[in-house]
Structure 1
């Protein structure tokens, strides 16, 4: 039976800065998730939530703004209450009146199926994008934290600033970044599969949806394959992108999954090379290196953007999973 997790976010606007916190995670049954989906698949109810995002309203105010009869508005408010998407409180006014408020700012639903017994022989490490050990970057290039630029835009020297560890977005037109993950495979065991996932896209001036870029990945200095990013995505704010970052800049990427096992190397399940996990000599080093970059002689040298958990659409850095 698939499980459904709803991640509930709280937005705190203070001092010209928006802070985002995950305040609770709801684990729902499939039936509960279906009921929520049914309730919000209605234009009137979505409009009610949109109005309530500006502040609390009573049913009369909602009815007036929606241009709907009071009775119709009340029915839709009740349906939203039943699935806990809004709350109703009694507040003093002209007498006591019921005022409705939006309960959540955002709900993200992940659907997946898990085996009852998880694979215990797996190591997972989420690497911050600023924790690279080597790099080469050519303009346009830069580093961005959650609140400001790091160093100077389009200056490769900024990639060596101590503050790079706070990076939530890094970008360059040509070059690479290399990470080294600790090798935690217990002695006497061997790796059967290694996986990486990262939010990534091309790098264009401002943004450009049609801007292909050939992005290459190396593991332990061995090239495992090339993926062509279709574009640099902007114009619509990423779920986690801070408010100060202008919408016509890069906003989010695509979550890509690389996998190397005994059958070869894959991206999102599609085979990209014959390099196997045995070719990587994982047990011979105290670390596992990952290099992501764009070659100078690439057919599509369209740059690269890498996203951290507080930029883009996915709350993660560069995740490595090693199965042994």
Structure 2
């Protein structure tokens, strides 16, 4: 079956960046009709495993590669496959009248409403450590609102976004995007973690983060934060619409946007966490706009439309 990615020119910058690499093009060619693990890819392309890992991560971030974990000879192995075999780019701008019906809200990662976290844990601003490391009391520090990197091994962190949907409007979709990865001591590229998102107490879906990323400085990560620590994450997108719930375009559950009952509250509750019964309890690193590789905090995007009124002839 032909799998086609259709993307507007306004949304294609990161895709172009991902494809501007001979190594990543060769990886996509290699995955034409098969699934391979990282070591197989590195061996067949005659490149170091670390180089293959970085390039695979970039392709995964833009949705061109799908990954899954399967049992191997020594623990689980990460298998990669090509998510699409054709890309169509719409050169017409996406700036249509419908954009007036899109709401974007950026939430600073330090502006959380509630939390329940367990060590290892901590918070950083862009200039230093907030409170004490591995001390949950630090999450109550007034300076937590300035956090640019938050991490914890187990538990959750919760935000309340303002509900800006006009009264009487019908919500078409809700999207949450954030830069995240697992939480290991220092960093560990092979450290799986099941990171789950809830919206209004409805479980949307779980992303299996492959590791806690480091070894090279994040684009935005300050110089004072040692290179032996976590440096960057993956930008993940959870989306809920009238057909179900998705992570990076892949359907993960049958929860519909109407199930979120957004119109019933003045706020929208968003929670990131590790479930008590998760298979991979590998923690969370959550990045703000001044840490990692992406200049954003937690972005909520809501698409809505006004309900059409029905007029019956002969009646007022």
TM-score bucket (shorter structure): 0.5 to 0.7
Instruction: Identify the residue that residue 259 of structure 1 maps to in structure 2.
Output: 239
Is the counterpart of residue 322 in structure 1 residue 302 in structure 2? yes
* Aligned ranges 1:106-145 → 2 under 5 Å: 114-117=93-96, 119-145=99-125
Is the counterpart of residue 311 in structure 1 residue 291 in structure 2? yes
Does the 8 Å contact 1:220/1:280 carry over to 2?
A: yes
Which of 256, 262, 286 is the aligned partner of 1:282?
262
Does the 8 Å contact 1:4/1:112 carry over to 2?
A: no
Distance change >3 Å, CA 268–CA 297, structure 1 → 2: same
* Aligned ranges 1:187-206 → 2 under 5 Å: 187-206=167-186
Is the counterpart of residue 224 in structure 1 residue 229 in structure 2? no
Write the distance in 1 (CA, Å) between the matches of 2:10 and 2:252.
Answer: 31
Write the distance in 2 (CA, Å) between the matches of 1:156 and 1:219.
Answer: 24
Residue 191 of structure 1, CA deviation: 1.1
Residue 184 of structure 1, CA deviation: 0.6
Q: Which consecutive segments of 4 or more residues in structure 1 shift more than 3 A?
A: 1-6, 111-114
Give TM-score scaled by structure 2 length: 0.68
Instruction: Identify the residue that residue 293 of structure 1 maps to in structure 2.
Output: 273
Distance change >3 Å, CA 233–CA 174, structure 1 → 2: same
Write the distance in 1 (CA, Å) between the matches of 2:126 and 2:170.
Answer: 38
Write the distance in 1 (CA, Å) between the matches of 2:177 and 2:277.
Answer: 25
Instruction: Identify the residue that residue 54 of structure 1 maps to in structure 2.
Output: none
* Aligned ranges 1:1-324 → 2 under 5 Å: 2=9, 114-117=93-96, 119-324=99-304
Larger of the two Rg values belongs to structure:
1
Does the 8 Å contact 2:192/2:210 carry over to 1?
A: yes
Does the 8 Å contact 1:171/1:203 carry over to 2?
A: yes
Does the 8 Å contact 1:203/1:303 carry over to 2?
A: yes
Write the distance in 2 (CA, Å) between the matches of 1:173 and 1:112.
Answer: 42
Give TM-score scaled by structure 1 length: 0.66
Does the 8 Å contact 1:201/1:253 carry over to 2?
A: yes
Write the distance in 1 (CA, Å) between the matches of 2:265 and 2:138.
Answer: 30
What are the superposed Cα offsets for residues 152-198 of structure 1, whole Å, 9 maximum, x if unpaired? Answer: 00001111111000000000000111001100111111211000100
Write the distance in 1 (CA, Å) between the matches of 2:147 and 2:190.
Answer: 26
What are the superposed Cα offsets for residues 127-158 of structure 1, whole Å, 9 maximum, x if unpaired? Answer: 00000100011000000000100010000111
> Where does the alignment leave 5 or more consecutive residues of structure 2 unmatched?
1-7, 21-88, 305-316
Partner SS state of residue 279, structure 1: helix
Distance change >3 Å, CA 166–CA 189, structure 1 → 2: same
Does the 8 Å contact 1:196/1:318 carry over to 2?
A: yes
Residue 2 of structure 1, CA deviation: 3.6
> Where does the alignment leave 5 or more consecutive residues of structure 1 unmatched?
7-29, 38-110
Write the distance in 2 (CA, Å) between the matches of 1:258 and 1:180.
Answer: 17
Does the 8 Å contact 2:9/2:94 carry over to 1?
A: no
Write the distance in 1 (CA, Å) between the matches of 2:10 and 2:262.
Answer: 34
